[in-house]
Every structure is written in C-alpha cells, then in structure tokens.
Amino acid sequence: MASATFFISPLLFLHITLALANITINSTLYTNNNNNNPWRSPSGEFAFGFQQIKDTKLFIVAIWYDKILEKTIVWNSYSQSNNPTPTGSKIQLTQSGLKLTTPNGESTWIAQTNNTTVSYGSMLDTGNFVLASSDNNNTLVWQSFKNPSDTLLPSQILEPNLTLTSRLKDSNYTRGRFQLYFQDNFILFSPLAWPTELRYTYYEDFGPAAHLVFDERGEIYAEAKNGTRTPPKEDPNWRPDLVLDTWNNYYRATLDYYGVFTQYVHSKDSNSQQQGWRILRYIPGDICTSVLDGYGYGSGACGYNSYCSMLEQRPTCTCLDGYTLIDPSNVFGGCQPNFTLGCGADNSDEELQARPEELYTFKVLNDVDFPLNDYEKIQPYTLDACQQDCLKDCICAVAIYDNQTCWKKRFPLSFGKAKSGGQTIFIKTRVAPLGTPPGSKSKKDDDNNVKPVFIGLLTGLLVINVVLLAAVLSVIRLKKRKREIKVSSLLETNVHSFSYEALKEATRGFSEELGRGSFGIVYKGTIESRFYNVVAVKKLDGLAEGREKEFKAELNAIGKTSHKNLVRLIGFCDEGTNRLLVYEFMSNGSLANFLFALDKPNWDLRVRFGLGIARGLVYLHEECDTPIIHCDIKPQNILIDDNFIAKISDFGLAKLLLSDQSRTKTMIRGTRGYVAPEWFRNVPVTVKVDVYSFGVMLLEIICCRRSVLMLESGGGEEEKAVLTDWAYDCYLESRINDLVDGDTGALADKGRLQRWVKIAIWCIQEHNEMRPTMGMVLQMLEGFVEVSDPPSPFS
C-alpha cells in the first residue's frame, strides 16, 4: 500500500496523507502519556509532541524523527521563545491554534492563527506540522516549516523574513550564539551578541538569494528571483555533485551550535552498517578562522580564554593552561583562570610582601593565534624584560614576544585559534606557594578566589557578557571548592593527608605503574589540586605496623624540606598497613634513563645534573634541622623535571625502613655497586655513606656508563668492568680522556673533567673519615676550592 502511493502524483499523495492524519479540534497531548502518543505522521517517521530535556523534569514541544534511535529534534517551540514546561503540562488544538497550558493554568500559544479558524492539524511525512482551515479550501494557516528553529528538512524553503538560530549547546535548545538570515537579498551567517539577538559582522554568505531551498531530492541552494540557483559558496567542504538518495536516507541541514551549517545524512534502514548521523558537507570549512568580527566584539567561534581548532571536521575549544571551563558541560562556553588574576588579586595580608615574580609564572603555548586583545607593544625589548614586565603588570594576562617586540594582552582573550606557525605565547599562571609559612595558607587562597577580580578590565566590552561571566564565575568557583579532594594537613607542614580511597581513585586502582624502587612500587595518579595535577603515588612496603609515630615524625621532617633539587612531597596516606606517599610527578623520568640511553646527554647537561644533585645532598646533610641521610643515592633515585633540573627522590625513608636490630648483610639498605664499605663493618652509618654513593654516581655521570658492567671475559676489556677501579687506573696512568669515550663536550672542558674525576675518587675512599663532606664536595665541584691529588681509594 505504502509503495503504491509513492507512484501517484505528489498532490494526490499529499491529499491522502492529510486524510490519514487529521488531528481534530480539542485533541490534547499530555507530558505524561507523550511517549506513547505523540501526533505521528502517516509513515510514522516524524512525530509532534513533548520531548523531555535530558537530565531534567522539563519538556519542550518538538518535532522529531520517531523511527530512529536518536529521536533527533528538528523543530522546537523553545526557539519560538517559549520556555521549557514542567511535567503535567498539556497542548490542545483549538480553533485559534495550538495552546500550551502549564499545571498551574498559565497558557501560551505555540501557534496562533488570529482571524482564521483552524479545522484540523496534521503531522506530515515531510516533517512539517501544519494547521489547516476548511473555510479556505484547506489552506494551511500555520506550518512549522515557516517557523524554523535550527534545522531545515528536504522540501522546506526558507523565506527572507525567516531565520535559523542555533541552539545554545547540544542539549540546551534555547536560542544560541549564531544565526542564518537574509539581508539585502543575501543569505548571511552572523554571531550574535548573546543573549540578545543583535548581530555582529557576518562570517559567511550564500550569495544573492530570494530564498533558501532544501529540495525534495536533498539539494540545498539559494534561488534568486529570476530562478538562478547558486549552491553554497565555493568551499571544498561543501561537496557538490553528491548522489543523494532520499528514498533510503534521511537528510537534514542544521545550523550547529558552534556556527557551522551542516548537511547530515542518516540511513532509514536500522540494519544499515552506517548508523547515526554522518556529516555530508558543511560551511564554513574552518569556523575557527571564519568568525572574526572586524571590530573585535564577541569571543569568536569559541568562548573567551580558549582557542579553537578543527578536529575531524568539527571545531573544538581548548582552555589556556591554568584555565578551566566556565560551564564544564560546554566546551564552547569559554574558560576562566583557576587562580585570581587581575589588579588587587594579591592584596591578602599574607601576600602583600610577596613579589609578583614569586606569585606568577608563565606557561608556554606554541602555534596559536590571538589576533586581538593587545594593549601594549614595546620595542625593542628582550624576552626576559617582556616577561618581567607582564609579571608585574596586573592587567597583563598573556605576553607575546617576537622580533624584539613585546606585546601584552589583556583579559579576556578572544578569537583564539590554533595555527601552525602561529605565535608562541606566554600565559601568566599562578605558581605553587613554595616555602611559604606553614599553616592555613590554602584556606586563605580560597577565600581570595571568591572576590570579584575582573572589575575595570572589561570596560568597553559588552556589559551583559561581563555580568553574566562574573556571575557564572563566582558560582562555579564556589562549586569548584567543594569538589577538591578533602585533605587535612600535617600540623607543621604543607603535606596533606589523603584517604586510601582517594588515592585509589586518583591512580585509577593503581593501574599505571611508573617504576619499582627499593621502598615500593610507584604509580601515576591525578589529583585535583590547585597546584599539582599529575602526581606519583608510592606504595611503601616492608614497613612494620604500629610505627605511626615514627612515620608521622619522619614525614614531618620530609615535609619541612624545600629545595629545588629535592622531589617535593605533596601528601601521604596512613591507614593501617596502607602507607603511601604522594610526590610531584617528574615528566622526564630518572637520571638512569638519561645516562644509560643510546644518545648520551651532552656534557653541559651532565654538569648541571652533577651540581644540582650535590646541592640537594648538601641541603639534606647540612641545612635541615636534623641531617637526613639518604642511604640509597643512585641514578634511579634522581628524577628529572620539565626544566631538566635533577631532583633527589626517596630521601628520608631509609631511617623508617631500617631495622632496629643490628645490621646484617640482608638488612643493608642501598644498592650493590653504590654502597659504602662501612655497611659491612661494625661502624656507625653517617652522612658519608651518601658521599660514597655520590662519588660512584659522579663517575657514572662523567662516563655515561653503569658502575658495574657484565663484560665477556677474553675481550681485553675486563679492566673496565668495575667503574671505580677503571677510573682510578685511568687517573693514575693519566688516561682520563679514555673515560669519556670521545665526548667532545667533555674533552673541550678538560680542566673540569680532571677535577671532577679527582673529586669522585676522594668521595669513594674506603675509610669514611677520608671522604670530604658534601659541602666540601660542592665547593670543589664548583671550582672554588683546589682539589688535591687523591690517594688510592682501596687502601
């Protein structure tokens, strides 16, 4: 029967469908029974009725594809400035149109026909919902096709007095940020000064047109008065000459909420391989670069403080480093800094003394373009001066440096887009409060957050936007605080106490192992903190139960340390047998990865590593309240951060894990090849054990090889097997160059090479009293103190 009707003339077909689908006067739809009984088209493909808004108890009056899984909405009354309506509402067809009544009796018109009397309504198979009057030969007195939302369907024609307006976001149907409209016989696309409907400069046009046609075959074109048809502007992403098949496919054209006009296709066959809506073609090809108001109003394709990039034919937005989404469910909604930025942001009493350079730092972002927002251009200038200048300038949000020129940009940043070969920008962000006085520091910071900080920065920009932004900001800020992992601090330090559950969650059930050390396994984790994001969580093993007091005492000692060359302890967990430590994450792995890789790190970098580690050890041995003996210095326990700074990890743990009983060989802490001889003797362990291990490691840093090699016998290389022996032999025989195996950087720095080898030999002296202190070692390394010739380390 169905197939027969399609061969009859369209007019007759229309007549038949109308006849099948009459909705009589006084017919009513309720939110409650909506799912079973919307007003369906004869084929059942389209339906009219209430649709519930996801995750709410609200409904909108809508038309949707009823036979596909997604129930995609093609028309809704929300865009006709009717708000969503609560459960218990109803729609009734009256002689004056469609009336919506809420449970408390308020009525609004979804469709009103004024002087003509409606005889019936009908949901057509085209997706058009119509109201007809019998007075006038069944004239259609109202059509959804003439009151479009954001979508056009085949056989729908857009007249010059009509517009398409995008929705706000995927799941919010309120009028959004983009509009398609007619002006002076052109079809234009513009961003709107949301939430008003004032239009900014257009970003795309369709050429001269009397109307926009989406014909029955699925073609879309602008038609001039004289009948000339122009397909959408020449754009490689609007593929012409496509074979369209309206028999087997659904087509729709939607002005997406990010401003792209897209034709989509969906198979009618539910068994089809290709399920879901697919992109057929779209304009503009790159919305990121298209939306740029000539006067600089608005935020561009993305919201403020984010930048736009195209990903699989769709735009996406990314917040600047240190910024987070204002509305976490809307990546196009703009971002806010998750610290206080702006003048007066640092006026809390505690921070009054802090200089801006200590409070802020820069994150570097490459290949982006923020064409506007400049307020100062300084030339000629150095990069350093540019950064310092921005740090001290409370208005400055971003600095750009190029060709001796420094540009400063103000908040909020707009029209950001990813662009290869684009600028390198320096984003001002807040640093962690290093070495700050103990106490309720973080609490103070939070109070600070709630203060409005944007006053004065935005004058001249849209006042409405500002007020909205500020309002949303403070709400989000308040919310955000609640989400942070609840932590309590150790009394005297900034070290936080985490629950085992929190750390389990942070490490996704201890799933990603970073490494195994002498004290336990280390896992990667993510915590929500103001200053750290990725962390390393170390699960300690071998720690006897019932030593809470010692554990806490030791953690207090570790927590009080603060040095550039020490890995920072962020927190801990102490629940029964579960003892975990949370450290800052070091993205470049351990020193061992560097030294023993195929590509040797260059000499200068190795020198920096050596000096850094020595400084860290001097701090542990000589500058803490009670000296901390590491006991396991080796390249695996030295971590390298983003800036290639060497940091000592695992310090302060040895004491905890060391057995109280007398030392036996099995109880020796430390690692073969690095342990000082006194471990095997009955003498007290002192800081000098670290000096010994440092000496071995210094040789490894110089030579880029392990302290002990497994060499095949008979290769003539046996003399090299043990690094300390070989190094001393080379030193005695004045063959120090052999140690660096042709490393040009080291050979060019001969004085230092000689000196450092001698220092290493001093460090590995058999008798601990012969070894220098770390303080002395550092002075010698730095060249402030002469290094005398060392005696044999083995006597």
Ligand X SMILES: *[C@@H]1O[C@H](CO)[C@@H](O)[C@H](O)[C@H]1NC(C)=O
114 binds ligand X (CB under 6 A): yes
Kindly report the number of other CB atoms within 10 A of residue 361's CB atom.
16
CB of 469 to ligand X, least distance (A): 12
CB closer to ligand X, 179 vs 249: 179
Considering 445, 632, 690, 743, which one is annotated as catalytic?
632
DSSP 721-788: SBHHHHHHHHHHTT-HHHHTTT-HHHHHTHHHHHHHHHHHHHHT-SSGGGSPPHHHHHHHHHTSS--P
CB closer to ligand X, 76 vs 289: 76
Dist CA 451 CA 443 (whole Å): 14
53 binds ligand X (CB under 6 A): yes
Which one, of 6, 27, 206, 235, lies nearest residue 122 by Cα? 27
Dist CA 149 CA 164 (whole Å): 6
CB closer to ligand X, 22 vs 488: 22
Residue 408 is assigned to a ligand binding site: no
Tokens found for residue 151: 């979508």
488 binds ligand X (CB under 6 A): no
Contact 723, 615 (CB under 8 A): no
CB closer to ligand X, 218 vs 322: 322
DSSP 108-166: EEEEE-TTSPP-EEEE-TTS-EEEEETTTTTEEEEEGGGS--SEE-TTEEE-TT--EEE
136 binds ligand X (CB under 6 A): yes
Binding mask 143-182 for ligand X (x = CB under 6 A): ----------------x-x------x---x-x--------
Single out the residue of 3, 226, 459, 795 in contact with ligand X (rule: CB under 6 A). 226
Contact 50, 91 (CB under 8 A): yes
CB closer to ligand X, 141 vs 736: 141
413 binds ligand X (CB under 6 A): no
Count residues binding ligand X (CB under 6 A).
36
CB of 145 to ligand X, least distance (A): 12
228 binds ligand X (CB under 6 A): yes
- At a CB cut-off of 8 Å and minimum separation 6, what does 544 contact? none
Euclidean distance between the first and final Cα of the chain, in Å? 107
Distances in Å between the Cα of 781 and the Cα atoms of 237, 608, 707, 709 are: 63, 11, 20, 26
327 counts as catalytic: no
- Find the part of the chain contacting ligand X (CB under 6 A) among 21-29, 275-283, 366-374, 538-546: 21-29
403 binds ligand X (CB under 6 A): yes
CB of 338 to ligand X, least distance (A): 4
Dist CA 66 CA 48 (whole Å): 9
Single out the residue of 303, 322, 652, 790 in contact with ligand X (rule: CB under 6 A). 322
CB of 532 to ligand X, least distance (A): 9
* Beta strands per DSSP E along 576-695: 578-584, 638-640, 646-648
CB closer to ligand X, 134 vs 440: 134
Tokens found for residue 104: 């408390």
Instruction: Give the orientation angle of helix 688-703 with respect to helix 774-782, to 10 degrees.
Output: 30
Single out the residue of 27, 43, 52, 112 in contact with ligand X (rule: CB under 6 A). 112
134 binds ligand X (CB under 6 A): yes
How many residues comprise the chain? 795
CB closer to ligand X, 138 vs 562: 138
Contact 367, 419 (CB under 8 A): yes
Single out the residue of 119, 262, 565, 765 in contact with ligand X (rule: CB under 6 A). 119
CB of 231 to ligand X, least distance (A): 14
Dist CA 73 CA 774 (whole Å): 73
Contact 329, 169 (CB under 8 A): yes
| Residues in region 258-317 near ligand X by CB under 6 A | none
81 binds ligand X (CB under 6 A): no
530 binds ligand X (CB under 6 A): yes
Single out the residue of 193, 224, 354, 770 in contact with ligand X (rule: CB under 6 A). 224
- Find the part of the chain contacting ligand X (CB under 6 A) among 36-44, 320-328, 368-376, 701-709: 320-328
Tokens found for residue 574: 């102490």
- Widest CA span in the chain: 119
Binding mask 500-529 for ligand X (x = CB under 6 A): ----------------------------x-
321 binds ligand X (CB under 6 A): yes
Which residues contribute to the annotated binding site? 539
User: Which residues are annotated as part of the binding site for ATP?
Assistant: 539
Supply the residues annotated as catalytic: 632
What is the contact surface with ligand X in residues (CB under 6 A)? 19, 22, 25-26, 53, 56, 58, 84, 112-115, 119-120, 134, 136-137, 142, 159, 161, 168, 172, 174, 208, 224, 226, 228, 321-322, 324, 338, 403, 480, 528, 530, 533
